[in-house]
């Protein structure tokens, strides 16, 4: 007999880990990053960096009529749902400090990382490309390991 749970588990950490690992490998083969399938990890990591920079890890949670769900019997939100981002936020901060140094500006690091993701997706102009790409590859590899 199988036992299954009706509780949905949050897969955010797993997905972020997977996307970071895939992205770190894309820096070795940037032509693969321009494929349509590569947009998913690149766009999601770009968004994670945006949320980290603004400290805005809030999801829209529609309940009741707006989501066509019944609200009867709901005692409230699961406390775990509110904390889905804590491990990701911590891993991003630790990875920035590990790769960019403890005194590095998180804002400057996230802007640089987003520039590296843009370069991967579009082959756009990037000043100091080799240095930025090396750090970005190390960052995403470390992020994957930290999760």
Domain annotation covers residue 73: no
The SS3 of residue 55 is coil
Read off the pLDDT of residues 43-84 as tens digits, 9 standing for 90 and up.
Answer: 999 999 999 998 887 665 555 555 555 555 555 555 555 577
Task: Give the span between the Cα atoms of 66 and 118, in whole angstroms.
Answer: 35
The whole-number average pLDDT for the span 81-101 is 88
Report whether pLDDT(126) > 90. Answer: no
pLDDT given for residue 77 in this prediction: 52
The answer to whether 134 touches 11, Cβ cutoff 8 Å, is no
Query: Which range marks the domain in which residue 41 is found?
Result: 12-55+84-146
Domain annotation covers residue 98: yes
Domain annotation covers residue 133: yes
Number of domains in the chain: 1
Report whether pLDDT(20) > 70. Answer: yes
Q: Which residues contact 142 (CB under 8 A, 6 or more apart)?
A: 94, 95, 98, 99
Domain annotation covers residue 63: no
Domain annotation covers residue 4: no
pLDDT given for residue 63 in this prediction: 53
Domain annotation covers residue 62: no
């Amino acid at each position: 007999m199988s036992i299954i749970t009706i509780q949905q588990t949050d897969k955010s950490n797993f997905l972020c880990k997977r996307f970071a690992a895939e992205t770190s490998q894309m820096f070795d083969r940037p032509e693969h990053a321009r494929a349509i399938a590569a947009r998913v990890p690149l766009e999601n990591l770009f968004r994670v960096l945006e949320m980290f920079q603004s400290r805005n890890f809030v999801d829209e949670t529609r309940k009741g009529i707006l989501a066509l769900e019944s609200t009867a019997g709901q005692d409230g939100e699961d406390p775990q749902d509110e904390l889905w981002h804590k491990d990701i936020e911590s891993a991003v901060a630790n990875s920035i400090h590990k790769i960019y140094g403890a005194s590095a500006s998180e804002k400057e690091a996230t802007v640089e990382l987003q520039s590296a993701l843009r370069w991967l997706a579009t082959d756009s102009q990037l000043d100091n490309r080799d240095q930025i790409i090396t750090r970005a590859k190390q960052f995403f590899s470390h992020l994957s390991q930290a999760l």
